[in-house]
Each structure stands twice: as structure tokens, then as C-alpha cells.
């Protein structure tokens, strides 16, 4: 079956612009995660959805970052007034719910470059 | 709160030599542990996981890891590495379903011909 897909694969934007990143999880996966991976660094947790609600938003770096999920499916991560430090690869992952202990399936990522 | 420590940011090793990538975690409750691998220019994929039962877990590509509760460790090992094992390896921990997963900062394994 299809894996996790993300779009766009690459995004170049100017400082101050807003960007929207999309994640399509594996069908039937109730949990969805967003991570940020800066160049040469590890994964930084941003936000987690269980269904359409986000029990843990603790990783969002600032109020410029927001995310939503609809229909227990697609999720969008929005970054407003982008800054150069937002440049990174944004990874999305999904997992089944109970009894699957959060084994995550990752998408290919969106590489964001803020000029 | 849970955390994961991967002390070695880079590990160079000669081809066909054994390797151990270290992972230590901290948590006040039982945890589930994972190793993920990220090959160059690719996404992360699951290498192996410990949920319960035998503390020695075998994964793909000849890797294995041992869960040591007393030492709060989950080190990854391979008896003989190949060039194709060159990648970044991430250890991760979660308290269970519907719980946040915390990743370590990663260890870059460089296999030298």
C-alpha cells in the first residue's frame, strides 16, 4: 500500500512569507507526528495528533507555527512570517493506534529553505 | 519526562569490523524502544524495536539490540558491517500508544573500505 507522502518535496521562500506543508498519512493510521530536522542535527518533535486533536503541542517553537488535521487524515503544518532559522527538513510520520506502540512510518520530508 | 542520549555523534569503523552504537534512556515508567536508520538522502525507516519479552531484539540487515533495564540502555550492534550500512542511526523511546516518541540526536556510522 501507499506510504506517507508529503508535499511539496522542496520549498524555497522569502523571509516573512507564510508557508504551508502537507502530509498524507497511511490510510487508517490514527496518529500523526511532525518533526523538524535541521542540517546535521537530530529530529526535533513539533506536534502530535491523535485523530484530529493534538494532545501534545509542546514542541512548536513559536506562535508562528500551527498545525491542523482533518478527517483523521491529511495534516498541514503552517509557518507564518518565516525566518531563516526555520530552514530545515520537515518530516511527517504516522502510526496505528493502540497495540502498535507508536511504530512510526516516515514520509520523505519537505525541505524548506528560507532566503 | 523521558529522554534519550546517544553519546556518539559519529562512529567510524572499518568494513567487516563489529560495531556498537550506544543509546541510553531515562524514564520513570516502562518504555518501548526503537532504532531507526536514515540512509543518505532518504527518509527514516524502522530497524528494530523492543516492546516486551526477550531483551535481545533482532532487526533488519543483521542488526540487533539488547535492552538492559538496570543500565537503562538499548545499544545497537552488528558483528560485521558493510559499506551499505553507512547511515545515521536514531534511538527512540516512548511510554506507549498515544504517547509522544522522543528521538536521540543520532549517530552517524561511517564504514571505511
Element (H, E) at A42: none
* Assigned CATH class of A5-114: mainly beta
Q: Is pLDDT above 60 for B61?
A: yes
Element (H, E) at A10: strand A10-13
Classify residue B73 as exposed, middle or buried by CB count within 10 Å of its CB (0-12, 13-18, 19+): middle
Domain that holds residue B44: 3-112
Q: Which of A36, A43, A34 is nearest to A92 (CA)?
A: A34
Express each pLDDT in A83-101 by its tens digit: 999 999 999 999 886 455 6
Of the CA atoms within 13 Å of residue A100, those in its CB half-sphere come to: 14
Per the model's pLDDT, the better-predicted residue between A39 and B48 turns out to be B48
pLDDT of residue A103: 77
Alpha carbon A112 to its chain's center = 12
- Looking up residue B48, the CATH number of its domain turns out to be 2.60.40.10
Total domains, chain B: 1
All three cell numbers of A43, joined, read 529530529
Express each pLDDT in A14-73 by its tens digit: 999 999 999 999 999 988 999 999 987 788 889 988 899 998 788 899 999 999 999 889
Neighboring chain A residues of B46 at a CB cutoff of 8 Å:
103-105
Residue A98 phi/psi, 5-degree rounding, is -55, 150
| Nearest-by-CA chain A residue for B96 | A101
Q: Check B100 against A42: CB less than 8 A apart.
A: no
Amino acid at each position: 500500500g501507499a506510504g506517507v507522502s508529503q508535499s511539496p518535496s522542496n520549498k524555497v521562500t522569502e523571509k516573512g512569507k507564510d508557508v504551508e506543508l502537507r502530509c498524507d498519512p497511511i490510510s487508517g493510521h490514527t496518529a500523526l507526528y511532525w518533526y523538524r530536522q535541521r542540517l546535521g542535527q537530530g529530529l526535533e518533535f513539533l506536534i502530535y495528533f491523535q485523530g484530529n486533536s493534538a494532545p501534545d503541542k509542546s514542541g512548536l517553537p513559536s506562535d508562528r507555527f500551527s498545525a491542523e488535521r482533518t478527517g483523521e487524515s491529511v495534516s498541514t503544518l503552517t509557518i507564518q512570517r518565516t525566518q531563516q532559522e526555520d530552514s530545515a527538513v520537515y518530516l511527517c510520520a504516522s502510526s496505528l493506534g493502540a497495540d502498535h506502540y507508536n511504530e512510526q512510518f516516515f514520509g520523505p520530508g519537505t525541505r524548506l529553505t528560507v532566503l | 519526562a523521558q529522554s534519550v542520549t546517544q553519546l556518539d555523534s559519529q562512529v567510524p569503523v572499518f568494513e567487516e569490523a563489529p560495531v556498537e552504537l550506544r543509546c541510553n534512556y531515562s524514564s520513570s515508567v516502562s518504555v518501548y524502544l526503537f532504532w531507526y536508520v536514515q540512509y543518505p538522502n532518504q527518509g527514516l525507516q524502522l530497524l528494530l524495536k523492543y516492546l516486551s519479552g526477550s531483551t535481545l531484539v533482532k532487526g533488519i540487515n543483521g542488526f540487533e539490540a539488547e535492552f538492559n533495564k538496570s543500565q537503562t540502555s538499548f545499544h545497537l550492534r552488528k558483528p560485521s558491517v558493510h559499506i551499505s550500512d553507512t547511515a545515521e542511526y536514531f534511538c527512540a523511546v516512548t511510554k506507549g500508544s498515544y504517547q509522544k516518541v522522543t528521538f536521540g540526536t543520532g549517530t552517524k556510522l561511517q564504514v571505511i573500505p
